[in-house]
Amino acid sequence: MHTFYIPVLGLGYSIDTPIKVAKYGISSVASIVDDELIERMRIHYARQRGEDDTPIAKSQPDYRARRITTYLDLMHRMVTEEFENLKSQPFIAGNDIDRYFSLLPKDSVLKIRYEAMLTMSDGAEKDAHAAALREQMVPGSIDVNIMSKVDKMNTDPDGNLLGDIYTDAMAALRGFAMSRLSSSIVLSAGMNPHLYSYLEAFPDFFPDETGNFCKRVILKVSDYRSALIQAKFLAKKGIWVSEFRIESGLNCGGHAFATEGNLLGPVLEEFKNRRAEMFTELLALYGPALESRGIALIHVPHTRISVQGGIGTAAENAFLLKHYGIEATGWGSPFLLVPEVTNVDKATLNELADADSDAYYVSDSSPLGVLFNNFKNSTAEKQRLERIAKGRPGSPCHKRYLVSNTEFTQEPICTASRQYQQLKIKQLQAIDPRPADLQMQIDAVTEKLCLCDGLSTAALIKNHLIKPRENNAVAICPGPNLAWFSGIYSLDEMVGHIYGKIDLLSNHLRPNMFINELNLYVDYLKKDIGRQAAALNDKKAKYFTKFRSNLLEGINYYKKLIPEITNQTVEYRQEMMAQLEAIEERLSHLPALVYIA
């Protein structure tokens, strides 16, 4: 029904967003990484509904998958019931059924038919049109997200390692696969062959007797090549990718992947130009794989292309859909300012609404060792600095989702943990003679932030589930695009902004999303060069050369693209050209040492 969706937002910010928006036909994505948060949210909603709220304890077999399945089934019941109630309402202004149609884009066929029905005189014809409208209404999809490589091994109550199928990612996949949902799983953060192969174990990922899928696979990707490699791996196993969700490398929320300077515009262009080629190549692998399983290919499956990361205006949204043939756009961070949609505690919400661009930055805070979009005014960031000042850097590690380091211990620990940071700082301070950059090295250690707790705490606070002695520091990871939004909005306002009914940024002069991303990449390259200058080797020099070359190619691409952005003013396009030339000038001033062959 809609041409946008709400992507996953941290561990807890969109954990129950489907319950809030699916009845209006809006699709959204919930993370299924944190089973402890999921269990607490399930019990919370079960008690509200008078359902069984018996806890699924960690001592129970396959507890992680069972927690996820049970919560997803609860969401499915809630959305189904609320949607059916909405569908049965009379067509009266102010009812939820009226809101359902009001939220649709103006060129929606269903909305046009709805508005025509309202003008009809009461009688059999109007009743027939109303009945037909109800039949065509569908709820939004309850999709889920797994970071493929967040996949630690787990143990039984006696400390013995469990089998491979009980790792974090495998259990999460199983939890979704065993649920009653008919929706999609979004696999992000790179390829995990073990996890991808596990999809074969569940019939719902294969077409049924009508050729349709009960459960679909979405790959979040940053470039064409990696998308094709992953999709071919799956196609050979009879698993079809129903959507490629292209995300900007840096102009996004959460973890950021800079790639080699592959800019969003050229990436979209490659998907546009090679879409048919990719489809043919995948189908040649997929068909025989199904036949080997005794499954007939009833009809050729469709693959949707969508994009997310830094979209900020209705004009940008419309251009992406039309020019690149994109079928949907993802709007994530702006929905953090919509209280009826996401779980942001009041204090953090007010900080986000008032923050300027300096508050948003790309950091090395993630224990995963991947760039992380951070917010300087978060209570988790303030707590991190307070702990350093008190001589007790690091965090207690309870959930252990991101443990990976075995530098000092046999069992993996998290680099954001107090245990690791104290051991690492002690090691650095023992170096004799002390390096000149000792404090810089220590700062790099203490920059790591506990995300397992921090990214779920706001959901607990907002739903009044936080316990008296529980850490209430909130980490949040909005994309830099949020700096242009200053306010707290309703669902109707944000959707109206996406479709151009209203303009929430009318008081802000905001560069085009492609320009914003390009500046982020140049800033990243400049910073990376500075860090590597003292120990530059041929491999890194070639990487920098390739990175810079891709940025320059991207600039040339955008210069040719500007005349095609016909839904903007001449002045807007002229300003884009001037900004591109300024960025090109910035690139020319980077150290020449980087460009050796």
pLDDT, one tens digit per residue, over 99-130 is: 999 999 999 999 999 999 999 999 999 999 99
Q: Which amino acid is at 53?
A: D
Q: How confident is the model at residue 592 (pLDDT cuts 50, 70, 90)?
A: low
146: exposed, middle or buried (C-beta count within 10 Å: 0-12, 13-18, 19+)? buried
Structure tokens at 432: 């004799």
- Please check whether residue 204 lies inside any domain of the structure: yes
For 205-241, write each residue's pLDDT tens digit: 999 989 999 999 999 999 999 999 999 999 999 999 9
For 405-421, write each residue's pLDDT tens digit: 999 999 999 999 999 99
- Asked whether the predicted pLDDT for residue 259 surpasses 80, the reply is yes
- Please check whether residue 350 lies inside any domain of the structure: no
Q: How confident is the model at residue 290 (pLDDT cuts 50, 70, 90)?
A: very high
Cα 191 from Cα 26, distance rounded (Å): 28
Structure tokens at 572: 């807007």
Cα 365 from Cα 320, distance rounded (Å): 32
Q: In terms of residue numbers, what domain contains 528?
A: 511-597
pLDDT at 405: 94
Pairing of strands 4-6, 27-31: parallel
Contacts of 548 (CB under 8 A, 6+ apart): 261, 525, 587, 590, 594, 595
pLDDT at 91: 94
Cα dihedral 455, 221, 327, 105, rounded to 10, equals 20
Q: To the nearest whole number, what is the mean pLDDT of the chain?
A: 95
- Asked whether the predicted pLDDT for residue 362 surpasses 80, the reply is yes
Q: Which amino acid is at 37?
A: L
Q: How many beta carbons lie within 10 A of that of residue 534, not counting itself?
A: 7
- Please check whether residue 443 lies inside any domain of the structure: no
Cα 216 from Cα 241, distance rounded (Å): 7
363: exposed, middle or buried (C-beta count within 10 Å: 0-12, 13-18, 19+)? middle
- Asked whether the predicted pLDDT for residue 329 surpasses 90, the reply is yes
Tell me which of 213-217, 276-280, 368-372, 577-581 is least confident.
368-372
279: exposed, middle or buried (C-beta count within 10 Å: 0-12, 13-18, 19+)? middle
Cα dihedral 412, 417, 423, 428, rounded to 10, equals 110
pLDDT at 233: 98
pLDDT at 156: 83
Angle between the N-to-C axes of helices 538-561 and 264-292, in degrees from 0 to 180, rounded to the nearest 10? 100
Cα dihedral 379, 383, 385, 390, rounded to 10, equals 160
Pairing of strands 4-6, 255-256: unpaired
Instruction: Give this prediction's pTM.
Output: 0.95
DSSP-derived letter for residue 372 is E
Q: How confident is the model at residue 530 (pLDDT cuts 50, 70, 90)?
A: confident
- Please check whether residue 378 lies inside any domain of the structure: no
> Shortest CA distance to 521 belongs to which of 595, 573, 586?
586
- Please check whether residue 183 lies inside any domain of the structure: yes
pLDDT at 103: 98
- Please check whether residue 36 lies inside any domain of the structure: yes
Cα 522 from Cα 293, distance rounded (Å): 49
Beta bridge partners of 186: 145, 218
pLDDT at 152: 87
Q: How confident is the model at residue 590 (pLDDT cuts 50, 70, 90)?
A: confident
Q: Provide the sign of the torsion angle of the four alpha carbons 336, 331, 526, 369, taken in this order.
A: positive
Q: Tokens 């000149």 label which residue?
A: 436
Beta bridge partners of 305: 244
Query: By the 8 A CB rule, do 333 and 482 touch?
Result: yes
Q: Which of 296, 312, 334 is the last residue of a domain?
A: 334
Cα 385 from Cα 363, distance rounded (Å): 15
pLDDT at 118: 95
- Please check whether residue 484 lies inside any domain of the structure: no
- Please check whether residue 288 lies inside any domain of the structure: yes
- Asked whether the predicted pLDDT for residue 485 surpasses 70, the reply is yes
> Shortest CA distance to 403 belongs to which of 174, 150, 229?
150
- Asked whether the predicted pLDDT for residue 595 surpasses 70, the reply is no
pLDDT at 596: 47
Q: How confident is the model at residue 162 (pLDDT cuts 50, 70, 90)?
A: confident
Q: Residue 78's domain is classified under what CATH number?
A: 3.20.20
- H-assigned helices in 293-404: 314-323, 346-354, 379-389
Count of domains forming the chain: 2
Cα 264 from Cα 356, distance rounded (Å): 24
Q: Looking at residues 46-60, what average pLDDT do you find?
A: 96
Pairing of strands 304-308, 241-247: parallel
Query: By the 8 A CB rule, do 413 and 419 touch?
Result: yes
Q: Which amino acid is at 394?
A: G
Q: Provide the sign of the torsion angle of the four alpha carbons 188, 193, 196, 201, taken in this order.
A: negative
Q: What percent of the chain has pLDDT over 90?
A: 89
Query: By the 8 A CB rule, do 558 and 265 touch?
Result: yes
Chain-centroid distance, C-alpha 410: 33
Q: What is the DSSP string of 128-179?
A: HHHHHHHHH--PPPEEEEEETT-----B-TTSPBPPGGGSHHHHHHHHHHTS
Query: By the 8 A CB rule, do 21 and 43 touch?
Result: no
- Asked whether the predicted pLDDT for residue 336 surpasses 50, the reply is yes
- H-assigned helices in 480-592: 491-498, 513-532, 538-561, 570-588
Q: How confident is the model at residue 151 (pLDDT cuts 50, 70, 90)?
A: confident
Pairing of strands 255-256, 371-375: antiparallel
Q: Strand, coil or helix: what is 127?
A: helix
Cα 306 from Cα 310, distance rounded (Å): 13
Cα 496 from Cα 334, distance rounded (Å): 13
